[in-house]
Chains A and B, each alone.
Chain A
């Protein structure tokens, strides 16, 4: 049985798809069999971030409507042979997603994969509720600013009440907080919420902090998930996130303003 992970947030533009791609790639790099599904029907993006947009033939909605089988729709990643992408349909809307249809696809995927990563669309409507309904774990992606935090809180409420696990009275979904686009400098100036502030408001286990980084945009443009960029801070932070998700106990990095270089310390500034 696969573990189903939903990457969700409520608010748009916080880094759900970037996180889904990085997490799926990271888990595959560790040797797990991973499928990543784009639930953003009508506004698909995951294929771009994963760099497989030119190989899409069939999509998620085709499989739900039995117009194609899973093997036809799944796109195998060229870099990691254990990683598969199930793209969203761009020509339909979210009404094409039904509980029965999504459940059937996830059931079938569960037989042959270790992890299924569900990339949720923004909002709390159909697409988002379908993405989280069957989840075992939820990664709530949040930016350190008040509106994103409030939307995440709303999403946590929905996770606790409207998921399959909640409705059937099973063990609740495991919820993790992932802070993204964290700019330590702006936090130190009081322009952004700190890690502690966000954790206090949401009272949730912190899975990781991803620093605001130019590397993320570069990764999106090139179609290589940012976790593959070992030299970048964001890439390293995502590597930590995957290890932590798998149970390793690692200290959080990139929380403080980067120390100034030796040169600046010797010659610049007043001390």
Chain B
């Protein structure tokens, strides 16, 4: 009783939540070039960037100590529908400038990125402009090495989903791109959920409850004996899902 009354008097509670946010990794500060590339990128998937919170990553910025024109940068991003919420990395001076634009300074703790600083630097030297999109994409693919259990959902937003374990019945694996399951697929697999008709599902052993590509689906009942319990790839041709042995 007491607990209930104290709960009803509280206006809010603070809870921590985790979000995966797109990081815009800045390589240099030429804002004309930035505007061009941003426009192209957004035009590829306009809905995806609408009201999307984005973090500006300064860790790979060449000419470390240059001043960043955050007012212009934020303006360009907002103009394309993004909501820049903060920065990560950068020098103290850059962080002070960012704070003037009311951008949050996010911690630089996530060191689990596979790219080594040396390796990425070498790539930047070659072709900085083309590299920007290449550097953004691989981040979106997701690797899962634990079994996906009944009741769990895994979503790879904007990329591929790779699972090196099994997917149990009652679990859901979802991706904007392809789905790879290097174990038995017993749950549901939905590839290309944002409408990518070229997405595919690959699995080591097909026993799925449901498979879907870009909204076209097949349930377990419609799978035939010779398609099940073996490695297959599934693609969309016309309005039909094609299942081919691997």
Q: A161-B152, A203-B165 are in contact. Are A153 and B146 (CB under 8 A)?
A: no
Judging by beta carbons under 8 Å apart, are B147 and A154 in contact? no
- Chain A residues whose C-beta falls within 8 Å of the C-beta of B152 in the assembled complex: 157, 160-161
- Chain B residues whose C-beta falls within 8 Å of the C-beta of A156 in the assembled complex: 147, 149
Judging by beta carbons under 8 Å apart, are B146 and A158 in contact? no
A150 interface contact, C-beta 8 A: yes
Residue of A nearest to B152 (CB): A157
A257 interface contact, C-beta 8 A: no
Judging by beta carbons under 8 Å apart, are B169 and A150 in contact? yes
- Chain B residues whose C-beta falls within 8 Å of the C-beta of A217 in the assembled complex: none
B7 to chain A, nearest CB (A): 11
- Chain A residues whose C-beta falls within 8 Å of the C-beta of B148 in the assembled complex: 157
A201 interface contact, C-beta 8 A: yes
Q: A150-B150, A203-B147 are in contact. Are A157 and B171 (CB under 8 A)?
A: yes
Contacting B at CB under 8 A, from A133-155, are: 150-151, 153-154
- Chain B residues whose C-beta falls within 8 Å of the C-beta of A158 in the assembled complex: 151
A123 to chain B, nearest CB (A): 13
- Chain A residues whose C-beta falls within 8 Å of the C-beta of B178 in the assembled complex: none
Q: A160-B149, A161-B152, A203-B147 are in contact. Are A154 and B170 (CB under 8 A)?
A: yes
Judging by beta carbons under 8 Å apart, are A153 and B150 in contact? yes
A27 to chain B, nearest CB (A): 28
- Chain A residues whose C-beta falls within 8 Å of the C-beta of B150 in the assembled complex: 150-151, 153-154, 157
Judging by beta carbons under 8 Å apart, are B170 and A150 in contact? yes
A150-B209 Cα distance, complex, nearest whole Å: 14
Residue of B nearest to A151 (CB): B150
Judging by beta carbons under 8 Å apart, are A201 and B168 in contact? yes
Contacting B at CB under 8 A, from A145-182, are: 150-151, 153-154, 156-158, 160-161
Judging by beta carbons under 8 Å apart, are A154 and B165 in contact? no
A38-B169 Cα distance, complex, nearest whole Å: 31
- Chain B residues whose C-beta falls within 8 Å of the C-beta of A160 in the assembled complex: 146, 149, 152
Q: List 22 A-B contacts (CB under 8 A).
A: A95-B3, A150-B150, A150-B168, A150-B169, A151-B150, A154-B150, A154-B151, A154-B170, A156-B147, A156-B149, A157-B149, A157-B150, A157-B151, A157-B152, A157-B171, A158-B151, A160-B146, A160-B149, A160-B152, A200-B184, A201-B168, A203-B165
A-binding residues in B (CB < 8 A) = 3, 146-152, 165-166, 168-171, 184, 186
Given A154-B170, A203-B165, A203-B166, output 4 extra A-B contacts at Cβ < 8 Å: A150-B169, A150-B170, A158-B151, A160-B146
